[in-house]
Structure 1
Amino acid sequence: MSDKDFTKDKDGLQKMRDLIEVPKVVMMASRLDKIPFSVCPMTLQSMDAQGDLWFFTSKESGLFKDVDYDNRVQIMCSDEEKQKYISIFGNATHIVDQEKVDELWNPLMRNWFDGKEDPNLVLLNVNMENAYYWDNQYNKLVSFFKLVKGAIPEQQPNMGDKGHIDLQDH
């Protein structure tokens, strides 16, 4: 794998857009100050123009309380079919914005909420600071043959990219 690093002003947001498809179920870790930290599955609803990630959560959830205590979160994304993996560190904020709720709402959210007017419904906005990714542009079968080829002495296949994305404003 080759290493590639990006910054927010050097194609970092575009690289994140290329890696993340929304909506997408991700794992979000909170209370990073304690062991074991808390982890829960969340559906990523949107990545906006500024690169912020948007989720729905409940005011009664452990995640909501964790973010009140410490807003640092770690998000793990995995797309095994496309061989893309991302670990994102950022800061989460609770947002009450009915217009944004209307924009992001979809009927599947009724599994967790009593509609858009549910008093416990709140948006969670994550401002990404850093990410680390592994991106194999080749499918699994090609990857398998490249791995086999790599077992042959003096054959080093290109298995894709990995790298760091610094998304902080400098």
Structure 2
Amino acid sequence: MSNTDLSNQDAVAKLKELAESIDFAMLCTDMAAKPFHAIPMSTKKVDADGRIWFLSGRDSTHNDNIRRDNQVEVLYSDPSSMRFLNVYGKAEIRRDREILKELYGSADDSWFDGLDDPNLSAIEIAPLQAHYWDVKGNRLVALLKMGWGGVTGSEPDLAQHGDLKM
């Protein structure tokens, strides 16, 4: 596994690629508690500055936790493609109508009563630290390298990982 740290726009691009392609993540709040609070969330977008956006209920436990302590961890995992992302950052709850309008889709009707639902809010996460793990090349090539490593006894370089510095 090779280490490849990325910075600036390369880091934002990698974060965006992974977060939007994996989509679902575990949003961890109340980090000082044992156990901390974790809930699955669907990524609505990653903006040009690398901020991650989710929709959320204003009255939710995780929103309450963010109001008390805005430090959060977001964990993305796609074991089938061997892609992972860990983001530590500061969260803010947003109620701006334009932001909600941009993020809201018809699938969100399962959780909210439309864009005018008074319980609708957005969570904006500004990354402070991020680390990724990603397979090199495509999955088929990685599987072939794993097989070759098993036959030869060598350790194949299948993946890369690194810090994302934005």
The question of whether the paired residues in 1 share the 8 Å contact of 2:87 and 2:131 is answered with yes
2:5 maps to 5
2:23 maps to 24
- How far does residue 57 in structure 1 lie from its aligned partner after superposition? 0.6
TM-score after normalising by structure 1: 0.89
- Paired with 1:30 and 1:115, the residues of 2 have a C-alpha distance of 26
How many percent identity over aligned positions? 29
Higher helix share: 2
Deviation per CA, 1:9-68: give whole Å up to 9, x if none: 362112212323258111111111111100000111011111111111111100000101
**The residue matched to 1:66 in structure 2 has which SS?**
helix
- Paired with 2:21 and 2:159, the residues of 1 have a C-alpha distance of 22
* One-letter amino acid of the counterpart of residue 6, structure 1: L
For the aligned residue pairs, the C-alpha RMSD in angstroms reads 1.8
- How far does residue 141 in structure 1 lie from its aligned partner after superposition? 4.2
Change (3 A) 1:141 1:23: closer
- Paired with 2:91 and 2:146, the residues of 1 have a C-alpha distance of 39
> Between Structure 1 and Structure 2, how many residues are aligned?
165
- Paired with 2:131 and 2:41, the residues of 1 have a C-alpha distance of 19
- Paired with 2:60 and 2:12, the residues of 1 have a C-alpha distance of 30
- How far does residue 130 in structure 1 lie from its aligned partner after superposition? 1.1
Residues 132-151 of structure 1 aligned to structure 2 (within 5 Å): 132-151=131-150
The question of whether the paired residues in 2 share the 8 Å contact of 1:81 and 1:139 is answered with no
- Paired with 1:22 and 1:127, the residues of 2 have a C-alpha distance of 19
Please list every run of 5 or more consecutive structure 2 residues that lacks an aligned counterpart in the other structure: none
- Paired with 1:23 and 1:114, the residues of 2 have a C-alpha distance of 26
2:69 maps to 70
The question of whether the paired residues in 2 share the 8 Å contact of 1:23 and 1:45 is answered with no
